[in-house]
Structure 1
Amino acid sequence: MNLEKARRMLKPRAEKALAKTAQYGLDIDLSEFRIEAGLGEGVEGSERVLESVGIDPRERNRSGSYYQVDNRTVYASARQRGLTVKPLSEALKDSENLNYYWRALPVDTDKYTAIAFLGEREGYFIRVDDGVSVDTPVQACLLLRTPGLIQAPHNIVVVGENSTLHVITGCAAMREEAGLHIGVSEFYVKKGGTLTFTMIHSWGKTVHVRPRTVAHVEENGVFISHYINTSPVSSLQTNPVVYLNGEGSRAHLSSIIIGKESSRIDAGGTLELVAPVCSGEIVSRTIGFDNSVNVARARVAGRAPGTKGHVECRGLLLSNGSRIDAIPELEASVQDVQLTHEAAIGRIAEEELLYLVARGFTEEEARSIIVRGFLSVELTGLPENLAKYLENILDSLSASL
């Protein structure tokens, strides 16, 4: 099958789903935006923005890079044998790669996947061959520059058997103009493979964000995802779904959400424990500022014997006008499963502030220390230099709150 035939088969389903409202989050009128290539200019002069979302413009300690502005690829490279980093349009010229094209995520999931398919132009394709360990991260940068645009990258990542890969994706808007980002991501982790995926968002208060993500993990495979949102958004709704299809497979999802100004955020994660003896956990930290409304969802479904799952949702309210809803959900459809959850929402305790102030810190410094402690999550699966890089981002973020 070639790409043209594959798209022809999928098109009727996508067209029918254009009016299909998403299950969660604020409903967006797609007619207010347009989907086109956009300016597609380079990233020169954007170094500070890139660094704020984890991208190194000089590509130090990076095995590969992918840059996309609006809906155009401006740069792609791979620096290690056995690693492929290409624009999706180029990768799909190889019919073998069509085996991963809209297979994990149906085009008719909702109207956002439908419009992403119908207006599809670009995205990244990253693949690691069997038995290859990619020791330093591949970085992917997605910048939204053109006002009123739908940016809809379709990203596919394939990790071969007994291979390892770290991907860090940084996403940002370059202007305070209205826009819509729909990032479609399909992840495939083969037998014994490990994929660590880190995403940092800094969009801006006029942008709507609708990532759509599905991962499939085979026997003894590992999928680790870290998500950090650092800036106000008009609205954000995301709920990545991970299917642990192979016996002994594992998943870890963590998220750090900062709700500022009038942001409307609905962020979660779902683990489907399909195979025996697989396990996973979802860990979230949500901070509510100003008039933001924040929903933290987490769902774990145990569908095979010997599966284990855990959910940890914590929220910190720093404004009387803000709101946080924590919604953990557990489902067991067979015996011999172990599923647990804990959820807590609160404010900074007065005694904690007084304790730190009594030891010489200003009230502002004390608040920053408490917030930084709250944001501490285990950055599982990251190489030391990348973990340190993310810790520095969280330090700066805490100091600015």
Structure 2
Amino acid sequence: MTSAEIYIKNKLEERRSSGAYRSLKPENSLIDFCSNDYLGFAHSAALKHNIETELQKNSANLNGSTGSRLISGNLNYTEELEKQIAAHHQYEAGLLFNSGYDANLGLLSSLAQRGDTIILDELIHASVIDGARLSYANRYSFKHNDLNSLEDKLKHAKGNCYVVVESVYSMDGDTPPLMDLLNVTEKYGAHLIVDEAHAVGLYPTGLIGHLGLQSRVFASVVTFGKALGCHGAIVLGSNLLREYLINFARSFIYTTATSFHQLAAIKVAYAFLNNAGEEISQLQKNITLFKKEINVNETYPLRTSDSAIQCIILKSNNKARELANILQAEELDVRAILSPTVASETERIRICLHAYNTTNQIIKLTSTINQFINVC
């Protein structure tokens, strides 16, 4: 073995011995309680049919985009779609990225400069952390949803300051006090950036739109791979911000543009979202039912969440994996979330509820969890 191979082997063995080894699993026929397909769009035959119809209407478009948007990959269709999405969320402008990871990477790495400050909630998504790392800015984190901790960091901020939070946190499912966050960031002249990945679908325009805060939020990131059932992302903000990202966001500039098929899927998914009142209502009912039926305790608590993401803290990789295995044996697809993805002693099962989950499925899920916790 070479020295590099020895290093790789040792690191993998360390991960196996700690119980944190990751592996890929193919699709299965279990009852879905783990995907981010909250409204069932990814499963929708009607959505698939409408995407095919949209492709047929625009049959002259190529299979691939042929290059970056600054070379050969830009289309009038793309720019019109960006305007439509921005209007849906009531922002001035938007810029499409190939994924939510690319959007956060491009936005954060290009926006903040040496001498500026980025302040992140400690539970922010890894893509935001990586984007901040690639900037030359000073970086701080504040305690999760803690306004006093945030204000303490804001007092030491230099240059242009950007505070970044999620409207629904991906691993806890909870929501920050956005009005209070805006008040404290504005007090110090900072700019709030909100990742809306897990809020769109729970709210048709995201939580920012639901609360009518677009004019006070500097930028918002919306992804299409969750409730919209397709792929990609958009950064929403001002026309000025859009122009800046076209010129300076490396994950936008130096990548092949989105294919037409993906653009068509996004457009059709937004048309479905505009008429998804029944699905959103059913999702809310399923969340209420789950919270009513689950019976947790102080040893293994349920995270406070009104979203589709519900987490039970098992406090060890082994316990989390044990409960996930029991649920999967009952044909319920729930996954364990292990450290280091989450902090040590916050290992958990992460349950994603959907509009298409039935009452019987949710009762079976909660009953199996309740039985496990009572025995423990």
Q: Could you say whether these structures have the same fold, taking a TM-score greater than 0.5 normalized by the shorter chain as the test?
A: no
Q: Which has the higher strand share?
A: 1
* TM-score normalised by the chain length of structure 2: 0.25
* TM-score normalised by the chain length of structure 1: 0.24
Q: Which has the higher helix share?
A: 2
Relative contact order (alpha carbons < 8 A, sep ≥ 6): 1 or 2 greater? 2
